[in-house]
Structures are given as structure tokens and as C-alpha cells.
Structure 1
Amino acid sequence: MFSKKRLTATAAVAAGAALVLAGCSGSSGSDAEPSFDPDEKVTLNLAFWGNDVRADLYNQAIEAFNEEYPNIKVNSTFLDFPSFWEKRQTEAAGGNLPDVMQFDYSYLRQYSENGLLLDLDPYIGGIIEKDPLPENILKIGVVDDTTYAIPTSTNAWGLFTNPRLLETVGVEDFAGGSWDDYTDWMKTVTDAGAGNVWGGSDFTGRIQNFEVQQRAKGEDLFTEDGKANFTEDDLKAFWEQGEAIRDGIGVPPQKVEELKPLGAFDSAHATSELTWDNFGAGYLANLGADYTELNLIEPPVTEEGAKDLYLKPSMLHAISAKTKHPEAAATLVNFLINSPESGEIFGTNRGLPASETALAAADLDPVAQQIKDYEESISDRLGDAPPVPINGYGTLEQKFLEIGQELGYGTISVDDAVKQFFSEMDVVLNQ
């Protein structure tokens, strides 16, 4: 059972004025350092994104939390992902964010740099238990040497393959190797598929694959201070790798359009897909009852021994800088992340638990166990996570994808694609 810790009355709340967020401004922080009496009745607001299933799990977790902390009342609300962030931006402008929030990695820098999130470092190792969380996991929530969020769960970049579909075309699974080896394997599958099955899609359309190759050279895509850490020549060389795939090996873009809203992989037209490892359950659901398993293997290798992969948070928990009850909020965050009760209740609903305590208590289904085994198998390739995404990273990720689609249709040259992306990136980094 989760052991209750006596809460102290010495906590600092992040103070200072918040900068403009979503076109509005609001003050952040507090002039006084609130103290917390562990027997005082307090109320916390908790916000998360999800559906009715996740809401029920949070209700169960809150009930378990109240068995241990009956004096802390938790009011929870949830929305779908886009609506969740629209509401947070409105609340941030008015200075009334919820005490505790489920948080997405792509928004962490924006909210922390605007002074909207509480510095959690005073609570880590005390109220927020540190031992169950590996150091590389804790580092994920750090911006400018300050911890602003704690990951609830992790995922990593991987390569899914479809053994049943491979059997139908008579080709063995990808045995690993370089990116060129992967392209050659895709060609073997496509040739055997005779216009009905392809080996995969153009991997140069995803910025994550570019990131993997850059990290193999010891370079993250962006520096800690938000500057691009790659050159036009780097990007040109990457996109040129896809020329053979775009010339008949990969799934044709016209076919991709026909298959929407499904993709080529989860509609059983492609035998492989490079993506985050937590996509497996969704793929199987879309493929239908005839497909009972997928293989999950490491991505192609750029350089042997490189630390090119990393654990990314599926989601995190953060606390508002303006909360009146920082220690109570930290207690709730610790329970939602570290307690065995949370592991038992949530399982892998929020992803593979980042806390070893919660993970040990989680009942892993076959897909979740596969993810756990996969992340253990790539431990020798796991390096530190890159700096928290720059403001506007989502815009650049989408632009990268759109340019990849144009390259697939042949409506743009690689040289023009590089110029277009760097022009967009210049706007995003300097806005």
C-alpha cells in the first residue's frame, strides 16, 4: 500500500508575472508562500483529457486517494484533447488554471516559460517519491533546469510489422539493419505484393525518423535554447533517402487517400509502420478479429552503438503555479503517478506506467506486455530525451508531414522542399 507521508509546511510556490499566452495575459505565482496543515480540509481541481472510460478510472483513483487523504476533496473534469487545450488557454489568460492537470509534452515549454506551472523540484524526493521514477524519466519534465511536470507513462519510437500479412505474400519479417536494408526489404515485400500489398510507406515523411538519424550523430533537432540543430544539407540528404521509396516501393499517395480514415498499415495494405510503440492496440482494433498480433521491433540502425532512441512521455501531470494548496496538489500528483493503486486502476490506459511501483501493480494485457518487453530490448539505444519541444513544434511537425506528401506526389523537388521547410521554421522560431 501507498505509505502516507507527513506533509511539511515549507514549500515555495513559483512566483512572477506570466507572459502573454494565447493572445492574453494573466499573472502567475503568489506573493505569499502558503503553508499546509495535513488535517486541514482543502479542495483541488483536477483536469484531464479522455473519454468516459478514463473518467471512470480517475473516479476510482480519486476514491482510493480519499481513503488515504479524506481531508483533500478532488473535483475532476475532462474534455477531448482539442477542447481540453482550448479551455486551458482561456483559463491561463484569466489566471485560473486547475490545481492539477494532465499535461501534454508539446505544451510544456509554452506553459512553463510563461510562468504558469509550479516548480516541482522542492517536492521531488519528499512528497513526490523519487525512487520509483528513473532519472531519465524525471528529466523529461525539466525545462531550463527546473522540473515542471512528472511523466505518468512512456513510449518509444519503434517499427511495427504484420506477420499475418507477411505470410500471405511469402516474405520473412525484417531482420533488422540499416535504413537502406529496410528500404530493400520493403521492395521485396512490394514486389511480392503485386499491387495489393506494400512493404511500407515513405519513412522520410515523418520528422521522427529524421530525428532518429540526427540523434545517431549525437545531435537533437533543436537546442535547449530553441535553435535548429541541423543544416539544409542534413535535411536534403534525409529526404533524398526516400526517392526510391517514392518511385514505386512505398504505398502510393493516391492509395493512402483512398484508405482514409485508416492508414495503409491498419487497413492491411502495408506490412510495416514506423511510429510510437503505444499505437499497437489501436492498429489491432482497426485490423479486425482476423489479426491477433503484431510484431514490434527496433527501427533501422544509422550507427551501431548510437543512443538514437529515447523515452517520450505519453502524458504528464503538472500543477498550476497559482494553486493555493501546492503540497496537497503534489500529494495528489504523487498518488496518481507512483501509487500501486494508480497502477492497478489505470493499467495502461495512460500508456505504460513510468513509475516502477505503478508498473509492478498494473495488469498488463498482451499488447502492453509487448511494449514493456520492447522498451527493455532497446535499452542499449536509449539516450536522454531531447530538450522539451520548442514552441511551435507541432506546426513544424505538421509542415514536415505535408511536404512529405508533396514529395510523394512529385509536386515539389527535394531542394524546394528543404527551402520551404527552413522558411517555415524561421517564422516559427522567431515569432
Structure 2
Amino acid sequence: MRHLRFVVTAAVVSAAALTLASCAGDGGGSGEYDPDADVTLTFAFWGNDDRADRYNQLIEAFQTEHPNITVNTTFTDFPSYWEKRQTEVAGGGLPDVFQFSDSYLRQYAEPGHVLDLGEVSDYVDFSTFDDALLGTGRLNDVQYSLPTGYSMWANFVNDDVLADYDIAAPEGGSTFDAFDEWMAGVTDATDGTVYGGTDYTQRIQVFELVLRANGGNLYTEDGELGFTEDELRDFWASGDDIRDGVTVPQVELEAISPVSGFGAGLTASEMSWSNFLGGYLADSGAESISIVAPPTAVEGSKDLYQQGGLQMAIASNTDHPEASAIFLDYVVNSPEAGEIFGTTLGFPASSSKLAGTTLEGVDKQVADYIASVADRVGEAPPVPVIGYGSLEQTFWDLGKELGLGTITVDEAVERFFTEADVILE
């Protein structure tokens, strides 16, 4: 086996450097592409040792098919990863191919730091992706990145708890009121030993579901917020009743952080992305966890969507656009990638990668859930605003303060929009 050198890198740079830096370059290499020429590519990703080992296997398989293309890799954790990318943008030296996130699409594509994949379309197969998934890497009708996989918002239920207290599972896709009643019933049945759930109004993704059910979105195509103060006020106020003794108290969650209430066995349910199932099983020690559809604000709406957050992109100033595209295509499309990664990069986004994936155990359960909500899946939302990650964290932090009782709903709304103004500027 070829041994690849993995380097953990961290750098702290102001996000302003990304905005102020000049465009990464016109890219495209020079001259006609020679498929037999020796090429060395740089590839960067965030993750852990397990992900690094899987990429090692994938690159070995890739280089067996393309012996003239050498791939050198670096990896680090998520925060350090983006600090390093910002440093490289300022110096015009992004890796040839790198793991990307839809949260950064507008931030990197608008200044021209990532390659328009249409320029290398002869080397990338787009036909294996649903259009909704292509949309997660598209801005202004230009395809800048492709997803490795996707997740769906879901409601997780601890079957062990339900069996211990003889409680029926919640109905998937119920109204929020019906789900609130179910959570209250769990808390009562266990006499508060286990709570019905976690305050879901802390999660911006649940607010997004409510907006989408009513024909809206978190943000607009122009990169602005897509909701009003009144809409946010109504959403946070809707959690007043469940915060009062139905869901696990925030003070208890603070004591066990970073483990979630569901992972710690304090709650019978929790909403999150479908690919969290394996982690929840490991954290909670539960023998069985079910996945059901989350509540909906409007019955029959298309409020769910395929969240293709983990993507692959190419630097616009790469000297080897064609070879980079060949490698990117192998990561997102090859059956070998499906065999090696399974669903660890999300449920396979392309049909050809899925064909190589063996779905069993947790992977099969996630696949079955995704199939069960197919009729509820709508179009991908607009590309996230610049600074979406900070907005999400602000939303969550204010939700926690509501749970602790240190802030009112009106104060939370005012603070969110004040901070949003700063972030969006």
C-alpha cells in the first residue's frame, strides 16, 4: 500500500481576508490536456483518522486506474480546516481539489475562488445526481461543487425507553401540537425520569421547516434573510409551553455538554440530521433507535430537502483542471467510493456511488427512512448567506438562553436581527 503523508494544519486568519483577497486566478491550466502526462495534485479535507484511512484506500484505488496522477493530501478538524483555506485564499494557493461545504459556496464562488465545473464537464458525470442535489452546489446557474452525500432532517426515538414505559411511538409527520402532546405524555409517564424530548425551537433547521411549509426559506436567492421578526417571534414563542416542564431543562443539558440530551438518555426523542443515527446509538447505548418523520407545520407540504452539506470543489487557479476533475469525479461518482465510504460522507448522492455501497445495519435504516419521506421532499433551498454558520450558532445560543430563562422572546428576536445585520455586512 502506498503510504500518504497526512498533515494537520491550523491557522487563524480574519474572515475579512477571504473577502479582500483578489480572485484566485483565471485557472484552466495551459495548453491542451495530455491524459498521459505525470501530474501531482493536492487534496485537502476535514475529518478524523477513520476518514483519512478511507481516503487513503480510495486514492490507492484511483492511482491504480490513473498511475500518472499522484494525489498528496492534508487533513485537519473542521474549524482549523477553514482557517487554513482562508490563509490560502489570501495567498492564492488553495489545494487543487478540496472538501467543500454548501455553507461556504457564496463566500468562495462569488469572488471566483472555485472553478466552474462546466469548464471541465468532459471529465465529470453530472447525470448521476438528482437536480435538487446539484442545486446544493450551484450558484447563479453555475455548478461550483458536487455533494459526496446528503442527509434529511429526522426525528429520532429511543425504542428502549418506549418499551420500558409501554409508550407508543410518535406519529411521523404529525402536527407540532400533536408531537408536543406526545412529549408531554412521555414526561408524565416517566415522572420526569426521561423527558419527552429537547426544545426543538432552539434549532434553526426546525424554523426552516416551518418557513418552507409556508412557502418561504431561511434566506433569499440574493443572499438576504428570508423571514421577518414577527415570524421568528412566533416560532420562539411557540416553544413557551414545552420549555415549561415538557422538554429536558436547559440547565441539565449544560451539565452534560457536548453530549446531547438524547445521547445521554435524558430524552426519548430528538430531531437532527439522518446521518446522526450511528452517533446516537453509540452515545446512548440504546439497543434500538427508530427514525420517524419530523412534525410538519402544513400537512402535504414539501418542507424537507436533501441536505448536501459535504461537497467537493476545485480551486479556480489550479494548474491541472482536467486531472483535478478526474479525481473529483472519482470521489463523488465511483462505485469504489461507495464501497469504501458507505454512508460516512452522507447517504451517497450519486447513483453510481450508491451502486457500490452495501446498505446494511445503520446504513440500511437511514436508507429506509429517506425512502419513507420521499413524497415530502421539496427543492433545495437557496444558497446559504455568507456567514450562515455564525447565524446558526447565534440562533442556537439564543435558544439556550430562552431555555435558561435569562432572556425573553422579544429580546432574543432583537438580538438575533442585530447580530444578523453585523454578520451579513
Task: Tell me, yes or no, if structure 1 residue 130 matches structure 2 residue 134.
Answer: no
Task: Tell me, yes or no, if structure 1 residue 170 matches structure 2 residue 166.
Answer: yes
- For 1:117, which of 111, 114, 117 is the aligned residue? 114
Cα deviation code 1:226-255 (max 9, x no counterpart) = 122111111111111101011111101111
Aligned to 1:7: none
Q: Alpha carbons of 1:25 and 1:365: their partners in 2 closer, same or farther (altered >3 Å)?
A: same
Task: Give the Å deviation of 1:425.
Answer: 1.4
Task: Tell me, yes or no, if structure 1 residue 334 matches structure 2 residue 329.
Answer: yes
Q: Distance in 1 between matches of 2:16 and 2:255?
A: 42
Task: Tell me, yes or no, if structure 1 residue 53 matches structure 2 residue 85.
Answer: no
- For 1:212, which of 184, 206, 209 is the aligned residue? 209
Cα deviation code 1:50-94 (max 9, x no counterpart) = 122211211111111112111111111111212211111111110
Q: Alpha carbons of 1:31 and 1:75: their partners in 2 closer, same or farther (altered >3 Å)?
A: closer
Cα deviation code 1:209-229 (max 9, x no counterpart) = 000000001111110111221
Aligned to 1:362: 357
- For 1:293, which of 279, 282, 288 is the aligned residue? 288
Q: How does 1:246-325 map to 2 (within 5 A)?
A: 246-288=243-285, 291-325=286-320
CA contact (8 A) 2:25 2:92 kept: no
Task: Give the Å deviation of 1:20.
Answer: 6.0
TM-score by length of 1: 0.92
- For 1:99, which of 87, 96, 99 is the aligned residue? 96
Aligned to 2:4: none
Task: Tell me, yes or no, if structure 1 residue 415 matches structure 2 residue 410.
Answer: yes
Secondary structure class of the residue paired with 1:122: helix
Q: Distance in 2 between matches of 1:365 and 1:86?
A: 37
Give the letter aligned to residue 68 of structure 1.
E
CA contact (8 A) 1:198 1:250 kept: yes
CA contact (8 A) 1:20 1:114 kept: no
Task: Tell me, yes or no, if structure 1 residue 71 matches structure 2 residue 68.
Answer: yes
CA contact (8 A) 2:24 2:316 kept: yes
Secondary structure class of the residue paired with 2:291: strand
Q: Distance in 2 between matches of 1:251 and 1:49?
A: 33
Output the aligned Cα RMSD.
1.6
Structure 2: 5+ residue stretches without partners: 1-14
Aligned to 1:395: 390
TM-score by length of 2: 0.93
Q: Alpha carbons of 1:415 and 1:27: their partners in 2 closer, same or farther (altered >3 Å)?
A: closer
Report the more deviating stretch, 386-395 or 181-190: 386-395
Give the letter aligned to residue 301 of structure 1.
T
Secondary structure class of the residue paired with 2:117: coil
Secondary structure class of the residue paired with 1:28: coil
Task: Give the Å deviation of 1:130.
Answer: 2.1
Q: Alpha carbons of 1:197 and 1:298: their partners in 2 closer, same or farther (altered >3 Å)?
A: same
Secondary structure class of the residue paired with 2:415: helix
Secondary structure class of the residue paired with 1:302: coil
Aligned to 1:156: 152
Give the letter aligned to residue 346 of structure 2.
G
CA contact (8 A) 2:114 2:314 kept: yes
Q: Alpha carbons of 1:54 and 1:32: their partners in 2 closer, same or farther (altered >3 Å)?
A: closer
Q: Alpha carbons of 1:149 and 1:32: their partners in 2 closer, same or farther (altered >3 Å)?
A: closer
Q: How does 1:344-383 map to 2 (within 5 A)?
A: 344-383=339-378
Task: Give the Å deviation of 1:33.
Answer: 5.3
Secondary structure class of the residue paired with 1:389: coil
Say how many residue pairs are matched: 409
Aligned to 2:142: 146
Give the letter aligned to residue 188 of structure 1.
G
CA contact (8 A) 1:21 1:114 kept: no
Q: Distance in 2 between matches of 1:181 and 1:282?
A: 27
Cα deviation code 1:351-410 (max 9, x no counterpart) = 211111111211223111111111111111111111121111111111111111111122
CA contact (8 A) 2:136 2:309 kept: no
Q: Distance in 2 between matches of 1:38 and 1:256?
A: 55
Q: How does 1:190-201 map to 2 (within 5 A)?
A: 190-201=187-198
Give the letter aligned to residue 29 of structure 1.
G
Give the letter aligned to residue 343 of structure 2.
T
Q: Alpha carbons of 1:185 and 1:324: their partners in 2 closer, same or farther (altered >3 Å)?
A: same
Identity %: 48
Q: Distance in 2 between matches of 1:142 and 1:332?
A: 20
Task: Give the Å deviation of 1:31.
Answer: 7.3
Aligned to 1:41: 38
Q: Distance in 2 between matches of 1:121 and 1:202?
A: 43
Task: Give the Å deviation of 1:180.
Answer: 0.5
Secondary structure class of the residue paired with 2:245: helix
Secondary structure class of the residue paired with 2:288: coil
Q: Distance in 1 between matches of 2:242 and 2:28?
A: 60
Report the more deviating stretch, 154-163 or 248-257: 248-257
Task: Tell me, yes or no, if structure 1 residue 21 matches structure 2 residue 24.
Answer: no
CA contact (8 A) 2:253 2:260 kept: yes
